Every structure is written in C-alpha cells, then in structure tokens.
Amino acid sequence: MTHTLDRTSLLRFAWRAAWDQGRVDALDDLLSPTYVRRRGPAGATQNRDQFKDSIHAVRQAFPDLRTEIEEVVEDGDRLAVRWRSTGRHTGPFLGVPPTRRPVEVSGATFARFDGPAVVEEWVTFDSRQMLEALGIITTAPQAAVDPDLVRGVHRKFTTGVTVVTTDDDGMPRGLACNAFSSISLDPPMVLVCVQRGSATHPALHRASHLGISVLAADQLDVAKVFAAKGDDKFARISWTPGAFGAPLIDGSCAQLEVEIGERLEAGSHTVFTGRVVSARHDDLAPLVYGGGGFFDISHTAPLPW
C-alpha cells in the first residue's frame, strides 16, 4: 500500500508541475524512457518527448491552465485517474484564433506502471465539450426530456443481444451489450457503446482489439451471466480466443473481431469504433431484446413486402 501511495503522490506532483506550471521535465521522474501515450485511432501514439510538446502547445493556448485530479483508483500495476481541466483560450488552438472563452474539459487517464514509472497511458475525454466551448460546434439548448420517457422510447426499439469482450493481459473481460451497430461495409466498421461504470470499460481502453458475439436464441443463460456483475463470468460459459485474441462466445450465431479505432466520450458512455478484422456467422436464430424482455423469433413469419 505504501508503494501505491508513493506512485499516486508522484503522479499528482508531476501532473501539476507539467500541466499547471509548464515544467514538463518533472515528467522524467514519472514516465519511463519507453513511455507510450495512446488516444484516438489505433496506432496514434505519443512518446515522452511528443507528450511534452503537446503540453507546451496546450499551455500556449491556455496559459492559465489548471488541472484538478478528482479521483485516483489503484488496481495492481494500474492507476485510473479522473480529472478536470479549466483555462481561458488566449492563444491559437486547433486552428482557432483566441476567443478568450473559458474552457472546461473532463476526462480519464489509465496508467500502467512498471515499478515506479509509467510505461503506458490511455487517455479519453469528451472532445465535444472542448469544441463547443471554442465555438467550433454549437448545440442549441433544449428543454430537458424526462429520462423515463426516453427509456420508454428505447424499449420500443427491438435489438439483438451481443457480448462485447476483450483480452486484458491474459484475463478475459466482457459485458452484455445491445448498443451495437454497423457503421459501414466498405471498409467494414462497427461501433459499440459501453457505460463508463462497467468493470470492462478500463480494459477496453487498454485493448487494441475487441470481440463481439451475437447471442443465439438458446443463449439466454449466457446473456444473464454477462448482464450481471462478477469476476468469474468466463468460468461459467464456453468460449474460444479469436484469431486476434479476443474471447468469443461458443454457440453464438455470429462473431466479429474488431481493431479498435476511436474511443469517443458521449454522456455516460464511451463509443468504441473500429475496423472488422475477422467475422463468421451460423444459421441460428438470434436472441432478441425488446420492451424489457428477451424473445426467440425463430418461429415467427416475416411480413410480406
């Protein structure tokens, strides 16, 4: 526990020195020489020097920048940091001339340590929040809609049921998800939306690939396993690693492996988009969800059209 406290204290000190004061050399005591920072499309990374340069660029645009670390959560050699940054836009940024507008951005950073040094970080934040504050995009204010009313609308929309999975350093992780959609067929791209409170969410931020298993009509028990909280989900079902390492649920009617491209913050969820790198499907009826219940539609007749 003492070692963890030392890591947390070192992170807080270096973070404030670099972001709030521009003393980026303070990061040398925190970041490994082989440090990699990941955000956005797969493969878009920064090394330690590039990260320092990006801090200088942000501080030139927001010289009064202040960052508050709101929460730090430790799990073995990993730390999750929830943060909030504020500053006034007084220098050019993203091609936008100074607006002198106050800007506030919140996000999360997931750090992996090797001893006392950070070797990898994954960062995510709601970019719409910054773009709207800078006037790059605008959102007309609307009267708030009752969440229960919106929930009722969603219950009228029937979906399939998927299990979204990833390999987290040899540990399979996964959750049930019906917020899945195709983006395009050429190139083949899909998206899934995952609540940030999910135990699988940090693992998806660390991963390069995810798996999507479309459950078959006889897999209601599998859906219940992954809809519940628990650390031993994969011990209770049959699964097989895919060609790219993602756990895939045996007996599902369709399976995809996806190379994660972007991680987009949207309200209480993160939208993971990516390119399909493997796919298969069988002639099995899918499990269907709608109106708060699950259905087997294998015996229904299509409407003429």
SS3 234: helix
SS3 of the chain: helix, strand, coil, percent, to 5: 25, 45, 30
Tell me the DSSP string of 241-285: E-TTS-EEETT-SEEEEEEEEEEEEETTEEEEEEEEEEEEE-S-P
pLDDT tens per residue across span 97-156: 888 889 898 888 999 999 889 999 989 887 777 777 777 766 666 667 888 898 889 888
The mean pLDDT value for 78-92 works out to 91
pLDDT at 143: 61
* Domains of the chain listed by start with CATH number: 2-133 (3.10.450.50), 150-286 (2.30.110.10)
DSSP 8-state secondary structure symbol assigned to residue 13: H
DSSP 8-state secondary structure symbol assigned to residue 145: P
Torsion of CA 51, 57, 58, 61, to 10 degrees: 180
Cβ(160)–Cβ(177) below 8 Å? no
Q: Which residues contact 201 (CB under 8 A, 6 or more apart)?
A: 194, 195, 270
The mean pLDDT value for 47-54 works out to 94
Long-range contacts of 261-264 (CB under 8 A, 24+ apart): 261/41, 261/42, 261/189, 262/40, 262/41, 263/39, 263/40, 263/124, 263/204, 263/205, 264/127
Q: Given a cut of 50, is residue 4 above it in pLDDT?
A: no
What burial class does residue 14 get, using C-beta atoms within 10 Å of its C-beta: 0-12 exposed, 13-18 middle, 19+ buried?
buried
Give the phi and the psi of residue 268 in degrees, each rounded to 5. Answer: -85, 0
Reply yes or no: is the peptide bond before residue 98 cis, omega within 30 of 0: no
Torsion of CA 24, 29, 35, 41, to 10 degrees: -40
In sign, the C-alpha dihedral spanning 27, 28, 32, 34 is positive
pLDDT tens per residue across span 203-230: 998 899 999 999 999 999 999 999 988 7
Q: What is the mean pLDDT of the chain?
A: 89
Cβ(255)–Cβ(190) below 8 Å? no
For the ranges 132-136, 165-169, 277-281, the lowest mean pLDDT is seen at: 132-136
SS3 10: helix
Q: In what order do the strands lie in the sheet with 66-75?
A: 45-46, 31-38, 117-125, 102-114, 78-88, 66-75
What burial class does residue 164 get, using C-beta atoms within 10 Å of its C-beta: 0-12 exposed, 13-18 middle, 19+ buried?
buried
Residue type, 42: A
pLDDT tens per residue across span 223-278: 999 998 877 899 999 999 999 999 999 999 999 999 999 888 887 888 999 999 99
Residues counted in the chain:
305
295 strand-pairing partners: 288
Question: Which residue has 């999507």 as its token pair?
Answer: 212
SS3 138: coil
pLDDT at 1: 35
Question: Which residue has 């087997």 as its token pair?
Answer: 296
pLDDT at 242: 96
